[in-house]
Amino acid sequence: MSRSDVPSRRLVLKGALAAGALTAVPGVAASASAATSAAAFRNPLIEQRADPHIQRHTDGQYYFTATAPEYDRIVLRRSPTIRGLATAEESVIWRRHTSGDMGAHIWAPELHHIDGKWYVYFAAGRTDDVWKIRIWVLENDSADPFTGTWREKGRITTAWDTFSLDATTFAHRGTRYLAWAQYEPGMDNNTAIFLSAMANPWTLTGPQVRLTTPEFDWECVGYRVNEGPAVIQRNGRVFLSYSASATDHHYCMGLLTADTRADLLDPGSWSKSPTPVFASSDATGQYGPGHNTFTVAEDGRTDVLVYHARQYKEITGDPLHDPNRHTRVQRLGWRRDGTPDFGVPVADGPAGGVTAATR
């Protein structure tokens, strides 16, 4: 999630996250009832849930998790429709420790199903050092993530023992990757985005490569931040969105693009958009959109953008303590050249147009 307002001398960001490479569920056909349900939800979809992550599993259910404003637990919802997540019962599947590691700032959980097991990636600090934030993993081998036992697999070990968060995982051409945000010693930034291949869902094989660091003015407002990676693979390319700047109304999203045949661990394979692809809108009254992920609508074809934003620009006090980053969804468009068209964050109210598959 986005955690933007820590003294710069600590070189940390109160940062945001979520993401995932989500595709249409095999065997799911478009239907009139699916189209109706997809168009019927309203924004905000879920209030006071930041860094949202929604995935559609092969069982046809949508699974939702996000950061709770108390930063003390990991929650889970599910529904056969996106709109149903708004009123679905919420379960707490894990709570922070009362001492030591994983005891503070429980941020940006993501739920993934890998090799028949469920995994949650999340960031957490220590009770005695709340800014010593690192990436941790939970595992559950039950077919139903609401049952069974969530076991702590431990911390993901990266090249440096530094501020790190916002992990997401995706598979590409037979290899599983982890993308995340981290402070690299010696760099003049708060966080950059890194990529590594994985030996298993909790172990990196390396090398750990930096894909993007804040360089444009819009990435450096308040804090020099790239965080919250999210991946979608379409039209012969791999697209990695990310969030930038402080977590107030300056928070926005950038985009990296690589050819699907390229070596993703070669930073030269990626091109970077010089301008934000998604940003605050006075016209629609949405501010600080970011920490997104991608899912697919009930028709099995239409891509959906999931993100959080606030309904106001001015924040009293520390943005970290403002709970009103709400989960929102809208259709992700596609241009004729095969690149994503994020548009602008839609206004509060019915989220129409989600069923118009364009790719």
37-56 in b/e form (b: 16+ CB < 10 A) is bbbebebbbbebbbbbbbbb
Q: Which of 51, 219, 298, 299 is catalytic?
A: 51
Half-sphere exposure of 161 (CA within 13 A, CB side): 2
Half-sphere exposure of 63 (CA within 13 A, CB side): 24
Coil/strand/helix, residue 10 = helix
Give yes or no for a contact between 155 and 167, defined as CB atoms under 8 angstroms apart. no
C-alpha dihedral over 165, 171, 175, 176, to 10 degrees? 30
227 assigned to active site: yes
Q: Which of 101, 110, 184, 227 is catalytic?
A: 227
Q: How far apart are CA 258 and CA 155, in angstroms?
A: 29
Single-letter code of the amino acid located at 271: S
Q: Tokens 């697999």: give the residue.
A: 153
Distance spanning both ends of the chain, measured CA to CA: 30
Burial class (CB in 10 A: 0-12, 13-18, 19+), 295: buried
N residues, the chain:
359
Q: What are phi and psi of 86, to 5 degrees?
A: -60, -35
Residues annotated catalytic, as ranges: 51, 227
